[in-house]
Amino acid sequence: MRGFVFYLAIGLLAALAQTSFLPLFFPPGLRPDLLLVLVIYLGLSEHMLRAVLLVLLLGGIQDSFSGTSLGLYIFVYLAVLLQVRLLSEHLNVESPPLLLLLIAGGTLVQDLLLAFCLTIFADVGSVVHILLPSFPLHVFVNLVAAAIGLFFILRIRPLFGFRSGLAGLMYQSKRHGS
Amino acid sequence: MRELLSRYRYFLLAVVLLLSILLLYSYNLRQKSATTFFERAVLTLAAPFQTSFDHAVDAVNAVWQHYLWLVETKQRNIQLEKENRRLRSQLQQVAEVRLQNGRLRELLAFVDVLDRPALPAQVIGEDAGNWARTVTIDKGTRAGLRAGLPVVAAEGVVGRIIKSAPYSSRVLLVTDASSAVAALVQRTRTRGVVRGRGAELSLDYASRDADIQKGDLLVSSGMGGVFPKGLTLGHVVAAERDQFGLFQQVRVLPAADFTHLEEVLVIVGEDR
């Protein structure tokens, strides 16, 4: 339960940073998706049921601060989480470069799903003109944010008694009974 | 059959969950002006943080500016007295207040021109995503705001309120891809619909034969019932005609500067 509240608080802080702090320094196309990075991290590290519940709430929070309708980001984040979980069974997620690759893939999936939902359901086809040109920059910014996050996580985790490195994302998780 | 269901139960659960959320999204799309309990709770919870953060940023900004100013002063006049410093730093504060006054005066003058009751509000947050263009303002249902009310700045149309919590509201900017405003080319009275395209706008459904030139001013037409007639939307930066097609492709630069949006006006009433 403590972990659940902790991740939820991190998600709220990330949403506040994205709405209040990052806009002071970065224009819209250059702001990292901190919540997407958190969703991918949850997909790799948390028990499935807890990850799904957290992602439903995080998606709702993102929807409350972005776009027009509740449900869009809940759907997108859940789809990203399920794909990360499916992929992670077959990959060595302890490798930091692979994690970064997952962030790039996650960003691609997110933008594709956003474009799909907004075009099919909301009839906002012109959003493609916003998403497509900014996509390379979007991936780059998310990768930089994730790399910075990884840099700090890799240094902070040993201080709290975890093994050094990224070991622990899948294999030390509660799902595997560490 | 049962074995099949049992084998693929997680997959089926995931599909059902995804479809349910798509249904929820689809349902919410039809209830655009309604603010759900969840959204209201999140906005209410976040509003104090966003307001405090906004104030903190202003304070840090002021200290930073004073500090820089003092360093500069120290380099130039190392023997300046404390009193002198205090007065000069106050001058800096006065300058900031004067700038804010200027902006508010512009807004007030605009209210007179507008001839409708309007409520000033402060922008306290921006959109959390990269594709949508919304901002959060520090007034909500307690101040009489509700979804659908138009929001303007001295330069022109900003957007309309889409979600309202007790102490904050979210405004859909005209530059958002899902935003559409009925518009007129002021010079020729050509009608069209201004849609958001991120940083720019486009004028859709402008007849191929219509006379639209670079620099033409676009104003709201008053159709649709959200924005009063005659509010500035932007200027035409390019108008192109394809070889085929019924309409022109018109690119429009918004009049309001969305990168420096600080104070806005919410139009709360009908014509006086």
| Structural domains of chain A in order of their starting residue, each with its CATH number | 2-176 (1.10.1760)
* Residue B133 with chain A: CB contacts under 8 Å: 28
Q: Is B257 exposed, middle or buried (0-12, 13-18, 19+ CB in 10 A)?
A: exposed
pLDDT in tens, chain A (178 residues): 777 888 899 899 999 888 888 888 888 778 888 999 999 988 888 888 899 999 999 999 999 888 878 889 999 999 999 998 888 877 776 777 788 888 899 999 998 998 888 888 877 767 777 788 888 888 999 899 888 888 887 777 667 665 555 555 554 444 444 3
Question: Minimum mean pLDDT among A10-24, A123-137, B157-171, B173-187: which range?
Answer: A123-137
Question: Minimum mean pLDDT among A164-173, B77-86, B144-153, B221-230: which range?
Answer: A164-173
Q: What letter represents residue B252's amino acid?
A: V
Q: What is the pLDDT of residues B237-257, one digit of tens each?
A: 998 887 777 888 899 999 988
Beta pairing class for B157-164 and B169-173? antiparallel
Q: Judge: A20–B50 Cβ closer than 8 Å, yes or no.
A: yes
What contacts B116, CB < 8 A, 6 or more positions away?
A: B228, B267, B268, B269, B270, B271, B272
Comparison of pLDDT for B33 and B198, the residue scoring more: B198
Give mean pLDDT, residues B136-164. Answer: 90
One domain for residues B189 and B129? no
One domain for residues B159 and B75? yes
d(CA B233, CA B230): 9
d(CA A82, CA A98): 17
Q: What is the pLDDT of residues B56-89, one digit of tens each?
A: 887 887 777 666 666 666 656 666 677 776 777 6
B81 membership: H or E segment, kind and range: none
One domain for residues B42 and B100? yes
Q: Judge: B39–A63 Cβ closer than 8 Å, yes or no.
A: yes
One domain for residues B185 and B81? no
d(CA A43, CA A37): 10
Q: What is the pLDDT of residue B233?
A: 92
d(CA A51, CA A96): 21
The parent domain of residue B235 ranges over 180-255
One domain for residues B43 and B170? yes
Q: Judge: A60–B38 Cβ closer than 8 Å, yes or no.
A: yes
How much of chain B exceeds pLDDT 90, in percent? 22
**What's the CATH code of the domain at B190?**
2.40.10.350
Measured in whole angstroms, how far is the alpha carbon of residue A81 from the centre of its chain?
8
**What's the CATH code of the domain at B165?**
2.40.10.340
Q: DSSP for B153-173, please give it.
A: -SSSEEEEEEEE-SS-EEEEE
One domain for residues B162 and B195? no
Q: What is the pLDDT of residue B222?
A: 85
One domain for residues B67 and B118? yes
Q: What is the pLDDT of residue B71?
A: 62
Q: What is the pLDDT of residue A69?
A: 82
B118 belongs to a structural domain:
yes
B219 belongs to a structural domain:
yes
Tell whether the torsion through CA atoms of A148, A153, A156 and A158 is positive or negative: negative
ipTM over the 0.85 cut-off: no
Interface list for A 71-90 with B (CB within 8 A):
71-75, 78-79, 82
Comparison of pLDDT for B192 and B99, the residue scoring more: B192
Q: Closest partner residue to B129 among A66, A74, A122, by Cβ? A: A66
One domain for residues B152 and B96? yes
A42-46, A137-141, B8-12, B28-32: which is most confident: A137-141
Predicted confidence band at B112 (pLDDT cuts at 50, 70, 90)? low
B229 belongs to a structural domain:
yes
B47 belongs to a structural domain:
yes
Q: DSSP for B28-70, please give it.
A: HHHTTTPPPHHHHHHHHHHHHHHHHHHHHHHHHHHHHHHHHHH
Nearest by Cα to B122 from B200, B45, B52, B37: B52
Q: What is the pLDDT of residue B9?
A: 80
Please state the domain count of chain B: 2
B26 belongs to a structural domain:
no
One domain for residues B226 and B168? no
d(CA B196, CA B179): 6
B140 belongs to a structural domain:
yes
Backbone angles phi, psi at A170, to 5 degrees: -95, -40
One domain for residues B75 and B117? yes
Interface list for B 252-271 with A (CB within 8 A):
259
Residue B173 near residue B258 (C-beta atoms within 8 A): yes
**CA-to-CA dists, residue A79 to A8, A73, A174, angstroms:** 19, 10, 22
Q: What is the pLDDT of residue B193?
A: 93
Residue pairs spanning A and B at CB distance below 8 A: 150
A83: tokens are 């794909």
One domain for residues B146 and B218? no
B58 belongs to a structural domain:
yes
One domain for residues B64 and B142? yes
Q: Judge: B177–A130 Cβ closer than 8 Å, yes or no.
A: yes
Q: What is the pTM of this model?
A: 0.74
B21 belongs to a structural domain:
no
Give mean pLDDT, residues B136-165. Answer: 90
